[in-house]
Amino acid sequence: MSAQIPETSRLRGLMLVAGREIRVRGLAKSNIISLIVTVVIVGVLAALPTIIGGGDDEDAKIGLTGATAPAMQAQLEAMGGFDITVYDSAADAEKAVADEDVEAAVADGALYSRDGVANDVETQIDSAWQAASVQTNLANAGLSDQEIAGALTVQPLEFVTLESGGASGPLDYFTGLIISIIMFMMLMTPVQYIAMGVVEEKSSRIVEILLTSLKPWQLLGGKVIGLGVISLVNLVAMVAVGLGVTAATGMLGDLPPGTASAAVSTIGWWLIALVLFGTLAGGVGSLVSRQEEAGSVLTPLIMSLTLSYLGAIFLLNAPTSTFAKVLSIVPPFSAIAMPTRMAVADVPAWQIALAIGLLVVAAAGALALGAQLYKRSVLYTGSRLKLKEALRRAA
Amino acid sequence: MLEIKDLHKRFGDTVALDGVSLTAAPGEVVGFVGANGAGKTTTMRIAMGVLAADSGRIVYDGAPLDVAARRRFGYMPSERGLYPKMKTAEQIAYFGELHGMSRAEARRSAAALLEQLNLTERAGDFVQDLSLGNQQRVQLAVSLVHDPEALILDEPFSGLDPIAVDVMGTALKDRAADGAPVIFSSHQLDLIERLCDSVVIIGNGKIIAAGSVEELKAKEVKQLRVCVQTAQDLTGAFPGTVTRDGDDYLVEDADDQEVLRIAAAAGRVTHFAYDQPTIAEIFREAVTR
């Protein structure tokens, strides 16, 4: 007889299933291609500000002439990004523009250009012109350089917010929006793939062979883990490229503070929500035997996910409303609503704790329900099983 | 020793199994025969633990068959199933791993089986791109990849081409020679006759006949076939019930030595033997009884 084959440990079975999902689905050409496309889009989007402001890389060539020229040159050089040529006369400057030696020229209070200048360049030249004119006027009025410098120095406005947790800044709004979109996508995709995978195994009857060496919970759990890992890897790739490009173009400093901690806590929320939605998706997926029927049993799940997302978007505009408070505590909506709300408003710790507690309880319930549904109906073939029937069936 | 003991199973109002018992000793190849819907698949699914019996037990080597022991079994369900979008070699090796092999072992075993089944050049293709016959071969490889110590195969020969039938037959014999109990169902009764040590016939959820091939044949033997070169009609001369089958006389319920004496006296006896029924005839007889 053949040598004793070591028993597959429970964990190994689970990991084998997860590993297969990752290899077959994660490394599938379609997934790789869609990931590459997404990553390229993210990369381009991240680089877009730099690409559009392309002139930033190359200094704008500006010609100057007239009495204000020295003051303007000092102003523009202080701003940076300008390559300045001083001409003797307005005619020379105008000719330089016409010959394309410079992009624009300031002469006698006029801005010469061939067909207009970029907005930001115009703004800078304009403010330099104003400052230089004031400076020149003040100097003509007999003020010393020091007095002029003193007169021109203005403290920028300081922002003071009286109500903390009140109206959120546009940056917080943006963070909240990103969190809700990512949470939605990161749940929707695995939920659909888990259900599809369950139906595939059921419709191809392969589940009958699988269940001779695996327990139903290993098969279901492995799917949730495998597709979770794929989603996470896709997200990490996108974020890494996004951040990488932003860092490479020197705009990383603009990220709102607390981004890292928000990202970590969002992943925590996502993990609990994945257990909740993923196991339910597997459970309801096992009710049907054909791929075409999968959509109908998934509808309630997709609906509650979509509602959670829409609720979170609504919440962004009214983070302190009762609706926002309730939505961010009641599962399954809290999975998306709470991390979104946390991004735009200060949430009392007890509410966060309550939301986590309720979501964990809901996820545990979903795990039990989904696993039971799956166990009872995965070998049943034929027409779609009614939920009640499935629950009544002996496991 | 694999023992299936007194299985009962109902589906709603339908009684699928009504006290099914069968045994496969180490090294014994058991053919499981029955009409469609007789209960073969249900019995095998229960034996493999994918279906629960209402009552009854599966005992392997004296202990109730558990998941750990089942994992060392090879199983081919009647409804064939493979992952369509998984590569052939990868898929076979995956099942090897599920059955407890290390990744390296599983890959080696998968490669060896593919070689044996003439599928080596399709190793990297998706299963869905293979012909149906080749998919069947992959299915066979999946059930054999972990060098199983017992085999339960539901219609393993259906849909196989002659080469795959030979491979499958050899595989069954090899496993049995290693001491594995083998149970398989088939409608191809010539294969059953060729491969099996014993046969179990099931009808309407009950075992209606079981035993070694010789035993079953002996039990069914009733007719003496006699051919005599003579002008006489011996129909009235022989004792017992006599019928004609062409030139042959078929004699039942008679003393064979007396029949021989009468035949020899009448002319030259060119054939004198009991008809050996084929398994097919035994099956028909058992099912219609």
| One domain, residues A176 and A244 | yes
List pLDDT tens digits, range A96-112.
Answer: 888 888 888 888 778 88
Rounded to whole angstroms, the Cα distance separating B87 from B85 reads 7
Task: Indicate whether B91 pLDDT > 90.
Answer: yes
Residue A1 banded pLDDT, cuts 50, 70, 90: very low
Q: Is B73 left (phi over 0), alpha (psi -120 to 50) or beta?
A: beta
Question: Same domain for A63 and A94?
Answer: yes
Provide the 3-class DSSP secondary structure of residue A259.
helix
What residues make up the domain containing A356? 10-44+168-392
Looking at residue A25, the DSSP 8-state letter turns out to be I
Within this chain, do residues B201 and B162 fall inside the same structural domain, yes or no?
yes
> Are A91 and A14 contained in the same domain?
no
pLDDT in tens, A247-286: 777 766 666 666 777 778 888 889 999 999 999 998 888 8
Do A176 and A36 reside in the same domain of the chain? yes
Q: Which residue has the higher pLDDT, B226 or A256?
A: B226
Rounded-to-integer distance, Cα A67 and Cα A108, Å:
8
Residues A199 and A315 in one domain: yes
Cα(A250)–Cα(A253) distance, integer angstroms: 7
Mean pLDDT value across residues A122-135? 82
Partners of residue B73 in chain A, C-beta under 8 Å:
212
Give the domain CATH number at B61: 3.40.50.300
Task: Inform me whether the pLDDT recorded for B182 exceeds 90.
Answer: yes
Give yes or no for a contact between A341 and A324, defined as CB atoms under 8 angstroms apart. yes
Domain contains A221: yes
pLDDT tens per residue, range A44-70: 887 777 777 654 456 778 888 887 788
Shared-domain flag, residues B158 and B205: yes
Q: Closest-CA residue in chain A for B65?
A: A212
Residues B198 and B227 in one domain: no
Question: Same domain for B106 and B236?
Answer: no
Nearest-by-Cβ selection for B149 from A1, A213, A395? A1
Query: How far is Cα A81 from Cα A56, in angstroms, rounded to an integer?
Result: 7
Asked if A278 and A203 sit in the same domain, the reply is yes
Is the pLDDT assigned to residue A390 strictly greater than 60? Answer: yes
Segment A143-162 shows an average pLDDT of: 72
- Same-domain status, B118 and B255: no
Q: Within this chain, do residues B208 and B266 fall inside the same structural domain, yes or no?
A: no
Predicted confidence band at B8 (pLDDT cuts at 50, 70, 90)? very high
Q: Mark which of A95, A122, A149 sits at the end of a domain.
A: A149
Residues of A whose CB is below 8 A from B180:
1
Instruction: State the pLDDT confidence band at B3, using cuts at 50, 70 and 90.
Output: very high
Average pLDDT over residues A349-370: 90
Q: What is d(CA A383, CA A370) in angstroms, rounded to the nearest whole number?
A: 19
pLDDT at A297 over 50: yes
Among residues of chain A, what percentage have pLDDT more than 90? 13
Do the Cβ atoms of B98 and A8 come within 8 Å? yes
User: Same domain, yes or no, for B33 and B84?
Assistant: yes
Are A28 and B85 in contact, with CB atoms under 8 Å apart? yes
pLDDT (average), residues A237-245: 82
Domain boundary among B212, B232, B249: B212
Is residue A334 one of the residues assigned to a domain? yes
Mean pLDDT, residues A28-47 = 85
Say how many residues make up chain B. Answer: 289
Task: Say whether B228 sits in a helix, a strand or coil.
Answer: strand
Verify that A26 and A107 share a domain, yes or no.
no
- Give chain B's domain count: 2
Q: Which of B190, B212, B234 is the last residue of a domain?
A: B212
- The residue assigned the tokens 């102003």 is A75
Is residue B234 located within the same domain as residue B99?
Answer: no
Confidence of residue B109 (pLDDT cuts 50, 70, 90): very high
Q: B60 and B123 share a domain?
A: yes
Which of A336-357 are b and which e, b meaning 16 or more Cβ less than 10 Å from the residue's Cβ?
bbbbbbbbbbebeeebbebbbe
**Do A316 and A348 share a structural domain?**
yes
Whether the predicted pLDDT of B227 surpasses 70: yes
Clarify whether residues A140 and A258 are in a common domain. Answer: no
The domain boundary, picked from B212, B238, B254, lies at B212
In a domain, A81, yes or no: yes
Nearest-angstrom CA–CA distance, B77 and B80? 6
Is residue A280 in a domain? yes
Q: How many domains does chain A have?
A: 2
Please tell me whether residue B147 adopts helix, strand or coil conformation: coil
B187 lies in the same domain as B284: no
Asked if A210 and B98 come within 8 Å (Cβ–Cβ), the reply is yes
Note whether A76 and A225 are same-domain residues.
no
Q: Is residue A154 assigned to a domain? A: no
Q: Are strands A60-64 and A82-86 parallel, antiparallel or unpaired?
A: parallel
Residue B239 has pLDDT above 90, yes or no: no
Q: What is the CATH number of the domain that holds B237?
A: 3.30.70
Q: What is the mean pLDDT of residues A305-324?
A: 88
d(CA B6, CA A74): 102
Q: How far apart are CA A86 and CA A69, in angstroms?
A: 7
In whole angstroms, what is the distance from residue A66 CA to residue A200 CA?
79
**Rounded to whole angstroms, how far apart are CA atoms B146 and A1?**
12
A379:B51 CB<8 A: yes
Which residues of chain B neighbour A394 with C-beta distances below 8 Å? 52
Which CATH number covers residue A77? 3.40.190
pLDDT score of A2 more than 60:
no
Please state the rounded mean pLDDT for residues A223-230: 92
A5 vs B52: CB contact, 8 Å cut-off? no
Which of these ranges, A152-156, A198-202, A297-301, A304-308, has the smallest mean pLDDT?
A152-156
Q: Is A204 close to B142, i.e. CB distance below 8 A? A: no
Helix, strand, or coil (residue A274): helix
Alpha carbon separation from A133 to A140, A179, B108 (Å, rounded): 10, 48, 84
Alpha-carbon distances, residue B49 vs A17, A191, A373, B70, B100 (angstroms): 20, 29, 18, 8, 18
Mean pLDDT of chain A: 81
Name the domain boundary from A122, A149, A176. Answer: A149
Q: Is the pLDDT of residue A77 over 90?
A: no
Two tokens, residue A382: 């034929």
Contact A208 B149 (CB under 8 A): no
The overall average pLDDT reported for chain B is 87
Contact indicator for B92, B113 with CB cutoff of 8 Å = yes
Q: Hey, are the CB atoms on B85 and A28 less than 8 Å from each other?
A: yes
Residue A5 included in any domain: no
Segment A13-20 mean pLDDT: 90
pLDDT at A137 over 60: yes
Please say if the pLDDT value at position B207 is more than 80.
yes
DSSP A346: -
Q: How far apart are CA A319 and CA A166, in angstroms?
A: 8
Closest CA to B288 of B203, B198, B195: B203
| Of A235 and A160, more confident | A235
pLDDT tens per residue across span A154-209? 776 766 655 544 445 677 788 888 888 888 988 998 999 999 888 888 888 888 88
B85/A206 touch (CB, cutoff 8 Å), yes or no = no
What pLDDT shows up at residue B243?
Answer: 84
Q: Tell me, yes or no, whether B253 and B203 share the same domain.
A: no
Q: Give pLDDT, residue A252.
A: 64
Lowest mean pLDDT among A81-85, A343-347, B278-282: B278-282
Residue-wise pLDDT for B48-71, tens only, equals: 888 888 899 999 998 998 888 888
Instruction: Give the residue from B45, B54, B97, B98 with the most A CB atoms within 10 Å of its CB, the best one to mutate.
Output: B98
pLDDT of A165 reads: 45
Query: Would you say residue A353 lies in a domain?
Result: yes
Q: Give chain A positions within 8 Å (CB) of B77.
A: 205, 208-209
The pLDDT assigned to A302 comes to: 92
| Cα R_g (chain A), whole angstroms | 31
Q: CA A141, A143, A147: angle at the middle one, nearest 5?
A: 145
Q: Do A269 and A387 share a structural domain?
A: yes
Residue type at B49? G
- On whether both A260 and A384 belong to a single domain, the answer is yes
CA atoms within 13 A on the CB side of A377: 28
In a domain, A276, yes or no: yes
Indicate if B202 and B175 belong to the same structural domain. Answer: yes
Shortest CA distance from A20: residue in chain B: B94
The boundaries of the domain holding residue B115 are: 2-212
